[in-house]
Structure 1
Amino acid sequence: MNGVPQPDTTPIARTRLGTGGPLVGVQGLGCMGMSEFYGDTDETAARAALDAALEAGVTLFDTADAYGRGANERFLAPFVRAHRDEITLATKFAIVRTDDDDYRGISNDPAYIRQAIDASLARLGVDHVDLYYMHRRDPAVPFAESVGALAELVTAGKIRHIGLSEVTGPELREAHAVHPIAALQSEWSLFSRDVERTAVPAAAELGIALVPYSPLGRGFLTGAFTDASADLPAQDFRAHQPRFTGDNARTNAALLAPVRAIAEARGATPGQIALAWVQQRAEAHGLPVVPIPGTRRPERVRENTAATFLRLTAEELALLEPIAGQVAGDRYQDMSSTSAARE
């Protein structure tokens, strides 16, 4: 790849998660797909992906109690214990799933938070997590109660730092007034920029880091598939998302032409262009960013981390700028629990 160093010889740079937060690699690893949502997983390859990430300088590893109904935390446990002093471990609470998965709800109740962290610690086999996120916001529970409960967990030593996911700028300010927030995890990519309306300015003002999930548009920005309903197994959740199926998918696939053109000219991949865009977009807003692309393959980890060495020109950024405004379809079937629904 023209001018894109391989991170197996040059570790990625580091940045800090929030004021006083942990120092982490400028790219993390989203581990959700290793247990659920994207079809069957080769566990041997997934474990190799974890090792490849650490070797490349990735230190932030992201999971949640909802991923596989605890299976993802259990899967990560041996890796976490083997490298506890080298990594920053993030997990989440709030999405409630039953054993038969017939129901999902959102709970920010303090009693539930205390129960959830103890269950996560047991599955992970550790005595604390470095970053604990409220996975989704229940507006019926005041931040004074839910963030207050998280602050108690900091005092108890069960968590080191507090994070939020899918909240608006005003909500971020409200929570930060109760206890410092280290990181905001929300979707941010060439295809999804609603986070820039209020949350990004608030995070920059407060010194809170952004941790973009799905920076590769769940693989769509890489060209891995064109129409999810035709190209992916039925059990892959992307096959049922509005943005990736039918007329929407065809419209959105056409929007990738400048991404492919820049990638070809730079000797890079479309995914690397998309990741480089997120890094530089955050810089333009004056805040630290740690995207967490998810993968189950070590070669994809190396490709993704190499993108941290790629700098797009002003002309290339201008070519990419109009994409998000033309995207067809919502990012979820049900947008009710996202920040966009409360803007």
Structure 2
Amino acid sequence: MHHIHLRDLEVSRIGLGAMGMSQGYTGAGTDEAESIRTVHRALELGVTFIDTAEIYGPYTNEELLGRALKGHRDQVVLATKFGLVSHGGDGPGTLDSSPANIRTAVEGSLQRLGTDHIDLYYQHRVDPNVPIEDMAAAVGELIAAGKVRAFGLSEAGPETIRRANAVTPVTAVQSEYSLFTRDPEARVLPTLRELGIGFVPFSPLGRGFLTGAIRSTDGFAEDDFRRDNPRFTGENFQHNLRLADEVKAVADEVGATPAQVAIAWLLAQGDDIAPIPGTKRVSRLEENTAADAVRLTPAQLDRLTSLPPAAGATHTEAQLKMLER
């Protein structure tokens, strides 16, 4: 496994997103033993970058990783997030990046993760009610106290990134980015490269669409969030199936899987990018991490880059309101 630097933080080229082990997707939270095996196998394969958040569950995903990483903490760069749980207010799902809430949140995450420090601490979504400078200063205090090593932002726009970085250096920004979601290319990526900030794409497989394995939503559980996602409904779904088929065609040429080609395309976009494909299964983890060895030709990269945009918004209307792009 190759390594890169997100600013001055060294991570494996491909990380592991842990959310789906506990929530969001069909089967989440039903097989803790397999999830823990997946984390351990990731470490064996050289994955050093693992991503979670207090809102995942809520709390249960951090607790799961705390159990999985017992005795292995020094092998990983551990990232988690604050700001979508209001500890003194309305609870989970409420934006709250007030300094007091951040101080409460970090103590809970440290306890659940079974560690004395968080390597990369992200603001999960920008809170319009808290000046970004106040939030960044609060994380800076946690860094000075040794509870946090590095500061990150998730789904933040260029102006927010600049303002936060002026107070406390931002190590990485996490946003959705894949062959299906190209939004960061226009404004966010140029800003990050100007400032020397790393980029962490989540949902690099288009929430499973780019694997080519999803041909219908009939098998989704009632609590699978993709049931309400615009890209998985009606005519949008049919259009996006055709895009997934194009990815598979390139994969057939390369002798790889569609998931591996989608990740390899992301890796080819720069040496400051570390995607975090999520899975709860060892077999998928092994498939995803093998993308590090896939090499696409310039013609294949151009063909993928030239794919038309996916149909449908990336989130529901309520979720879109929390994004800066």
Residue 28 of structure 1 corresponds to 15
Aligned to 2:106: 117
Q: Distance in 2 between matches of 1:102 and 1:255?
A: 39
Secondary structure, counterpart of 1:133 in structure 2 = strand
User: Is residue 2:223 matched to residue 1:235?
Assistant: yes
RMSD: 1.5
Change (3 A) 1:106 1:13: same
Partner of 1:326: 309
Q: Are 2:208 and 1:219 aligned? A: yes
Does residue 1:274 correspond to 2:262, yes or no?
Answer: yes
Q: Which residue in the other structure is 2:122 paired with?
A: 133
Could you tell me how far 1:265 is from its partner in structure 2? 1.4
The answer for unaligned runs of 5 or more in structure 1 is 1-11
How far 1:72 sits from its partner (Å)? Answer: 0.4
Whichever residue aligns with residue 126 of structure 1, its letter is T
SS at 2:94's partner residue? strand
Match of residue 256 from structure 1? 244
Please identify, of 230-239 and 129-138, the stretch whose mean Cα deviation from structure 2 is larger. 230-239
Q: Percent identity?
A: 45
> How far does residue 49 in structure 1 lie from its aligned partner after superposition?
0.7
Deviations 1:296-317 (A, max 9, x none): 1111111111101111111111
2:59 corresponds in structure 1 to: 70
Quote the residue 1:3 is aligned against.
Answer: none
Counterpart check, 1:83 vs 2:68: no
1:211 is paired with a residue whose SS is strand
Distance of 1:15 and 1:125 partners within structure 2 = 26
1:184 pairs with one of 156, 173, 176: 173
List structure 1 runs of 4+ shifted beyond 3 angstroms: none
Secondary structure of the residue that 1:49 maps to in structure 2? helix
Deviation at 1:257, TM superposition (A): 2.5
Partner of 1:315: 299
Residues 82-130 of structure 1: CA distance to partner in whole angstroms, max 9, x if unpaired?
Answer: 11111111100011279xx996221111110001001111111211111
Q: Deviation digits for residues 174-197 of structure 1, max 9, x if unmatched?
A: 111111111111000000011112
Instruction: Give the counterpart letter for 2:21 in structure 1.
Output: M
Q: What's the counterpart of residue 4 of structure 1?
A: none
Alpha-carbon contact 1:144-1:178 (below 8 Å) kept: yes
Residues 218-243 of structure 1 show CA distances to partners (whole Å, capped at 9, x for unaligned) of: 11100121343x23112111111001
3-state DSSP of counterpart to 1:145: helix
Equivalent position of 1:53 in the other structure: 42
In structure 2, C-alpha distance between the alignment counterparts of 1:154 and 1:104, rounded to whole Å: 25
From 281, 285, 290, give the equivalent of 1:306. Answer: 290
Q: Secondary structure of 2:215's partner?
A: coil
5+ long unaligned stretches in structure 2: none
- Is 2:86–2:94's contact at 8 Å kept on the other side of the alignment? yes
Q: Distance in 2 between matches of 1:309 and 1:118?
A: 39
CA distance in 2, matches of 1:321, 1:176: 30
**Match in the other structure for 1:288:** 272
Shift of 1:139: 2.4
- Change in Cα spacing, 1:32 to 1:103, as seen in structure 2 (3 Å) is closer
- State the secondary structure of the residue aligned to 2:156: coil
Name the counterpart of 1:95: 84
1: CA distance, partners of 2:124 / 2:216: 28
- Which amino acid counterpart does residue 318 of structure 1 have in structure 2? D
State the distance in 2 between where 1:305 and 1:339 align: 29
Q: Across the two proteins, how many residue pairs are aligned to each other?
A: 319
Q: Does 1:152 align with 2:125?
A: no
TM-score (norm 1): 0.90
Q: Secondary structure at the match of 1:91?
A: strand
TM-score (norm 2): 0.95
Whether the aligned pair in 1 keeps the contact of 2:86 and 2:96 (CA below 8 Å) is: no
